[in-house]
Structure 1
């Protein structure tokens, strides 16, 4: 189903052993926006991206599309890649046009339309003009956070009231110290997003006592494996190129889990996945730095836009210097949204992107994408392509160069 016409947006190194992971995975846990660049910093200041290494892997290379290397994966991805939110078994055929124009990366998750997005992409790659080997497929482990949170909550509920209060206070202190709710760093991109903080930081406050019994638990490993196997069934293929795990990491600690590493190594050995990634809305700088320092993550898809950019540019430089691939999401969601409860978007955000990106030929969401793509350390921006109009407007932004203006 196509939404009403509104601003066009929404958006391997498995040889690392467990000891090394646990030693490095928490190296950046204290990182918060207060330690990052000033909010006025821009994508223009990011400098040059590191030089590529290894042989690039091309798919669906077409004239008129620009491509960038996705970090150490060596995947050459289109500068604009496809988000899964608008894609359903009844709304996917317009994406044939995007493939014709050189788009080559399809994002999805079991949580999108209860697996319907994966089913739809499965139909797309079976089209005679597409085929599995013409695109890169990236899915996520949507159930992990829910299962993990419940395991910690079950333990929490058995504690005396006094201990519960101590844990709640510790969780609140961590949130405050890291500044993860700082306006400008934290943005609400979808209804219910702020509700994820309480269970996430309750879990983090319990890690010292409960990490081993939860994070090294067969239940989590099985959750990851079963989620990916379900995705493969819906897609009708035997492997995906990228597995994002967790789906929506709330904090750096979310990556510090032997279950994730063990499940990924198993799935990779079985030929079901190639690269490991993570996505983050709530603490993108902290999660990005933790992924870079962990060593076995290959890429991060993170919230990055004209509002939070100054808070995350230092983390982007750090991760890029370690050859981590970076895809920017929620780029246009800072200036436009299809979520009615979040409308209207504050006008100052729209005015900011209008000032930064010159020209009168682009809408604010398109300017937001152009802004992000001026950062050479960003491999791609993810865009929800609801129909052929979105495809025409947003894919045309690939390769566009502008001189960004002061905010």
Structure 2
């Protein structure tokens, strides 16, 4: 009995020893998830919790893969042994956040646990496959510069949605690191649909194929050269990027104009809308555009250069499909564009146009507040359009203050602390 216990303890010690770094990586993931439980948006198992874990596990999995391969013998590379270590360690990586998230259930249950499991399954479970693949690519590309290559690959993957959002009429994106981002973190209509599942299956197939080919190459069983494998690694994603608008994974101007197929040109706006909207209504909406423009010109004593492009969507569903952010209207100051839902135009139109005015003295390539400070970005638009749900902002702020909903203004305007408060309260204050 003592011999059996001693043998098992020896195996566990070897498994979690400092030499294979597994215990260190598990500890880092654990601390990260404990920290997530302290934040308002990630204090339970839901969309945000799953997305942040996906990003973090890709990072940890890639680094761990490189460390594991670095400690493996090149002459006696055992593909079975390495595969077993990959499966075991990365299974632990994805189980730790689930276990820690259970503690969040004892404090608050605002998101059904089953929905959280669905998000975690689709968004987070593929993360180790992606991380292992990127680690293998980096290790095989250059043993000397494996870590710079790994982080370079992460930067490339992160840059694709940035370019899509910057140049295309969209704010949503599909990306291997996060799965899907709907456009705003306050969008509560996020759900798992067939398109997202198919996208994640494509991710699993592509990165899984690379893992297979690269492990075969390391074990000297592959009939393909490393150049051929790297060519596959580059060509397949490029093909997906090119056809993504046709699959619904990105939106180009030509795609959006096929749906919003009519245009009304006014003095300061190019308004794109669907042919189903009555002419009398779109003329009324155009008058609202021009009236808001006139008021904002007086407020800012400044006007945007050129006309503002306005996209009017028939429904939230249509807007979510083509642009993203189905429940929130959005402006892109750097493109001088606004995106409005038809049934909401009278509530948000002036606010979104205000962002385009503010863009004239914004900074960075996005023409927004310095350091992307969300309190400044939204604060200037709220000040220019000081009505919230048909009430004056000062009145709403006084109600909040008198009923104990108080926010430290200095903290609110510090960095990204805006997102640490309830959205409605942050906008009002």
In the superposition, the TM-score normalised over structure 1's length comes to 0.24
Q: Larger relative contact order (C-alpha < 8 A, sep ≥ 6)?
A: 1
Higher helix share: 2
Please identify the structure whose Cα radius of gyration is greater. Answer: 2
In the superposition, the TM-score normalised over structure 2's length comes to 0.23
